[in-house]
Amino acid sequence: MAQVILKNVTKKFGEVTVVKDVNLQIQDKEFCVLVGPSGCGKTTTLRMIAGLEEITNGEIWIDDILVNDIPPKERDIAMVFQNYALYPHMNVYDNMSFGLKIKKYPKNEIDRRTQEAAGILAIQQLLDRKPKELSGGQKQRVAVGRAIVRKPKVFLFDEPLSNLDAKLRVQMRAELKKLHERLQTTIIYVTHDQVEAMTLGDKIVVMKDGVIQQIGDPLTVYDHPANKFVAGFIGSPPMNFIDVKIIRKNSDIWLDEGKFDVKLPDEMIEQVKEYINKEVILGIRPEHIYDKLYSTLGTPENTLSATVDVVELLGSQKILHLTTGKSNFVCVVDAHNQAEENQDIEVVFNMDKIHLFDKETEMTII
């Protein structure tokens, strides 16, 4: 049970800075997910917390202890690796209990803890198997089990689900969530999969190029992204970005794409004052674009026509790829929607849900 604090943490490999001035406070019992594209520094950050990587600059605190110079084994952490890293020459029981054995725990205590962890993960029947006799999902459980028996202050997960097939991943995701509730421990979890981040995290830390882009709970990050990168990274299918120009018509503000224009809600006018007659990026999530035939929100001020390029049926819904001839965007509609490819349809933008981004800085305007 511990809080983890990173203060101005920087990591350089030679001349390359892979983690830049990271400040992060992870509360006790929090499930914190570091998410970002590959090479964004999330794994390096995790490895620095684990002590596998030295810190170039800054401080890492676990509870009230500065751990910069404390070796991994004394940090009271456990780590689950992407490829499980089970010892191939030991059976499951030995793999799980190895850490305790090294620390010279009494034998009955080792046995009690190992059995308990095996029980939690439902792998009692696998205890005398070697890793090569296990399936991917089973290996994953053993790797988690090895972390559990240690009863550490902090669990570190490095993309633990990325080697599993899609179905198993969903299942393990749910189990990890349950496990967290059961263990009530601080978890720091690294993934490149934004769905995992959204579903698992109490707190999401979005990283890019070694810099934290945004920290927040999943819904905040989703609804109020700090910049265009976060907006595009979180959410599937990703947010649509359309280049528009802000223009004034009488007392109203309109977003003009060239082929269509939509009216900005009055309450947003104040925020875009400085951008009048400038180009900005309009961001709108696919689920906030509706087919006019199925929507009651349509008015001339938020409706435009577009051609259907591709229709993807997912079962419960359809994804329409649309084009205005100038810009392309995607919308998610009901599976029974009748729109066909190459058909011109009218779509409605839910203007209350739009975002605007500065074209140069890519920071959020609205």
Partner 1 sequence: MKRLTKEESKRIKQRIETAKKVVLYTILTVIAVFMVIPFLWMLSTSLKEPGAVFKYPPEWIPKPIVFKNYVDAWNAVPFGRFFINSIIVAVCVTFGQVFTSSLAAYAFARLQFPGRDKLFLCYLATMMIPGQVTMIPVFILLKKLGWIDTYYALILPGMFTAYGTFMLRQFFLTIPKDLEEAAIIDGLNRWQIYWKIILPLSKPALATLSTFVFLGSWNDFMWPLIVTNSMEMKTLPVGLASFQGLYTTDWTLLMAASMIVLAPVLLVYIFNQRFFTRGIVMTGLKG
State the residues that interact with partner 1 by CB under 8 A: 50-52, 71-73, 77-79, 81-83, 85-89, 98-99, 102-103, 146
Strand order from edge to edge, sheet including 252-256: 261-263, 252-256, 240-249, 279-284, 355-358
d(CA 331, CA 116): 48
- Amino acid identity of residue 83, one-letter, is N
Paired with 36 in beta bridges are none
Closest listed residue to residue 8, CA positions, set 244, 219, 272, 211: 211
Alpha helices for 184-241 (secondary structure H):
194-200, 218-223, 228-233
Taken in order 292, 233, 162, 199, the sign of the CA dihedral is: negative
CB of 89 to partner 1, least distance (A): 4
User: Of 67 and 242, which has the nearer Cβ to partner 1?
Assistant: 67
CB of 3 to partner 1, least distance (A): 20
User: Of 18 and 348, which has the nearer Cβ to partner 1?
Assistant: 18
User: Of 43 and 191, which has the nearer Cβ to partner 1?
Assistant: 43
User: Of 65 and 268, which has the nearer Cβ to partner 1?
Assistant: 65
**Pair 190, 157: CB distance under 8 Å:** yes
Closest listed residue to residue 205, CA positions, set 234, 185, 232: 234
In degrees and rounded to multiples of 5, residue 298 shows phi and psi of -65, 130
User: Of 77 and 333, which has the nearer Cβ to partner 1?
Assistant: 77
d(CA 90, CA 147): 16
Closest listed residue to residue 80, CA positions, set 139, 39, 1: 139
CB of 190 to partner 1, least distance (A): 14
CB of 191 to partner 1, least distance (A): 17
d(CA 38, CA 174): 24
User: Of 127 and 308, which has the nearer Cβ to partner 1?
Assistant: 127
Please spell the DSSP secondary structure of 228-250, one letter per residue. Answer: HHHHHHSSSSPPEEEEEEEEEET
Q: Tell me the two tokens of residue 126.
A: 């696998």
CB of 1 to partner 1, least distance (A): 19
d(CA 17, CA 19): 6
Provide CB contacts within 8 A for 351, sequence distance 6+: 262, 263, 264, 265, 301, 302
CB of 72 to partner 1, least distance (A): 5
CB of 74 to partner 1, least distance (A): 8
User: Of 101 and 278, which has the nearer Cβ to partner 1?
Assistant: 101
The distance from CA 226 to its chain's CA centroid, rounded to whole angstroms, is 14
- Amino acid identity of residue 188, one-letter, is I
CB of 61 to partner 1, least distance (A): 19
User: Of 87 and 122, which has the nearer Cβ to partner 1?
Assistant: 87
User: Of 138 and 194, which has the nearer Cβ to partner 1?
Assistant: 138
CB of 173 to partner 1, least distance (A): 22
